[in-house]
Structure 1
Amino acid sequence: MTAPVRVLIADDQDMVRVGLATILDAEPSIDVVGQARDGLEAVQQVRSLRPDVCLFDVRMPNLDGIEATRQVAGPHVEDPVPVIVITTFDQDEYVYDALRAGARGFLLKDADPDLLARAVRSAATGEALIAPAVTARLLATFASSRGEAVTEPVEPLTAREEAVLDLVAAGRTNTEIAEELYLSLSTVKTHISALMTKLSARNRVEIVIWAYESGRVDARGHP
């Protein structure tokens, strides 16, 4: 029997935090092992509990969700823990920074229970989910506003890798990419691994960010 995904939830709003915990604890394959009221407590619990996935609110006292993410999942963390950022539409400006800090993806606080559970399972397996309703708008808006130089691939992308890149940027899962391109699941994973290497990306989220920053995908999420 597969062990349940161990989750830590951090949110300073008791109703939100407890609500998320109640939803996830109802899932047979998910176990909420800790709850934190601020980012500082969240980082401490991550280090003591070593959860499989963290859900961090963006705005929290003492230490915000962005810095908490950086401390447990940032580029220089030796053993990072997958973090999903929880946000609301009025906190859009923070999401891009959270992704840069190491977050695997993000969800809106009003996400339905099924999407929340799928996001947690996806993060645990390295296939993090970004809320599809806001992926294109957020990443396109904040990538273009940064004005940063885009890192060129260390090697040219193949035609197949470019096709996979477009679908990853559009928010497709590995299974959906396999079906659309008539590939096996293992082949899709191989292409995504190659994209991560060539784009110097640590995960799928950074592949998506590169696609927007490079101008390969427009504001509507279209190549």
Structure 2
Amino acid sequence: MSVRVLLVDDQEMIRVGFRMVLDARDGIDIVGEADDGDTALALLDEVEADVVLMDVRMPRMSGVEATRRVRERENPPKVLILTTFDLDEYAYEALRAGASGFLLKDTPLDEVVTAIRHVYEGDAVVAPSTTRRLLDHFARRLPAPATEEPAPTQKVFDELTPREHEVMRLVARGWSNAEIAEHLVLSEGTVKVHVGRILTKLDLRDRVQAVVLAYESGLVETGTT
């Protein structure tokens, strides 16, 4: 079954470029385009999408706010953030708002297609090393929104077993399942099971949300490797 994609970017040339290359790929179906967050939300009332490719910087409604509103919907599509720079403070805020990952706008086509499919299948961390750099750069610089509860303490991780705690720390540092498996001398399948149990115990949506929680709770500090 094709992955239904909604393109959201205020630059028409960007949308046209993505549509041309993605439409030519099997398994990708572009269901619509929008030039800002407001239009995207209205369009989602008319079409069904599995993944939204969302520009992070747009007039009227930013990609951050649009992402937050998209993710508040019933059975919402996944959101994949598009950004010009890999250290973009808006991209970090979008991850907190519910995005499943982000891509640079100059990402090679094959990687874009792979990322869309990974996000659709629930593998949220599209580029672990880039995600790690972004979080390291901005985790201490961005204050929590005034409407949010105070940052949780590490007690939220008490339900994890010692092994799950170890896996959680490595996930938080942006390591892929393969990297974790090699480091802990486990199979990738076993690591995937551990990650799934961690997300369930902590009531988290995906790996990106786990990374953000780990940084904001102090489980992993910026600058660690």
Superposed pair shares fold, TM > 0.5: yes
Distance 1:195 1:137, change over 3 A: same
Identity over aligned pairs, percent: 50
Distance 1:38 1:91, change over 3 A: farther
1:169/1:221 contact within 8 Å kept: no
Cα distance in structure 1, aligned partners of 2:181 and 2:104: 27
| Equivalent residue number for residue 70 of structure 2 | 72
Following TM superposition, by how much is the alpha carbon of 1:195 offset from its aligned partner in structure 2, in angstroms?
1.4
| Equivalent residue number for residue 99 of structure 2 | 103
2:139/2:222 contact within 8 Å kept: no
| Equivalent residue number for residue 157 of structure 1 | 160
Asked if 1:114 is matched to 2:110, the reply is yes
| Equivalent residue number for residue 216 of structure 2 | 213
- CA distances 1:34-87 after superposition (whole Å, capped 9, x unpaired): 11111111112222211110000012223221111111113xx33221001111
Q: Which secondary structure does the structure 2 equivalent of 1:150 belong to?
A: coil
Equivalent positions of 1:196-211 (< 5 A) are 196-211=199-214
2:7/2:52 contact within 8 Å kept: yes
Following TM superposition, by how much is the alpha carbon of 1:99 offset from its aligned partner in structure 2, in angstroms?
1.3
Equivalent positions of 1:177-188 (< 5 A) are 177-178=180-181, 181-188=184-191
2:131 to 129, 135, 140: 135
Instruction: Tell me whether 123-132 or 138-147 shows the greater mean CA deviation.
Output: 138-147
| Equivalent residue number for residue 46 of structure 2 | 48
1:9/1:56 contact within 8 Å kept: yes
Cα distance in structure 2, aligned partners of 1:196 and 1:177: 16
Cα distance in structure 2, aligned partners of 1:84 and 1:38: 15
Give ranges in structure 1 of 5+ residues lacking alignment: none
Following TM superposition, by how much is the alpha carbon of 1:178 offset from its aligned partner in structure 2, in angstroms?
4.5
| Equivalent residue number for residue 55 of structure 2 | 57
Cα distance in structure 2, aligned partners of 1:137 and 1:176: 17
Q: Which secondary structure does the structure 1 equivalent of 2:45 belong to?
A: helix
Asked if 1:30 is matched to 2:28, the reply is yes
| Equivalent residue number for residue 147 of structure 2 | none
Cα distance in structure 1, aligned partners of 2:74 and 2:50: 15
Give ranges in structure 2 of 5+ residues lacking alignment: 145-149
Equivalent residue letter for 1:150: P
Cα distance in structure 2, aligned partners of 1:136 and 1:90: 11
Q: Please list every run of at least 4 consecutive aligned residues from structure 1 whose deviation after the TM superposition is greater than 6 angstroms.
A: none
Following TM superposition, by how much is the alpha carbon of 1:139 offset from its aligned partner in structure 2, in angstroms?
1.2
1:66/1:101 contact within 8 Å kept: yes
Cα distance in structure 2, aligned partners of 1:221 and 1:27: 39
Q: Number of paired residues? A: 218
Equivalent residue letter for 1:83: V
Q: Which secondary structure does the structure 2 equivalent of 1:40 belong to?
A: helix
2:86/2:134 contact within 8 Å kept: no
Structure 1 vs Structure 2 CA RMSD: 2.4
| Equivalent residue number for residue 16 of structure 1 | 14
1:140/1:213 contact within 8 Å kept: no
- CA distances 1:128-162 after superposition (whole Å, capped 9, x unpaired): 23434531222123322336523432633222212
Following TM superposition, by how much is the alpha carbon of 1:20 offset from its aligned partner in structure 2, in angstroms?
1.7
Instruction: Tell me whether 163-172 or 23-32 shows the greater mean CA deviation.
Output: 163-172
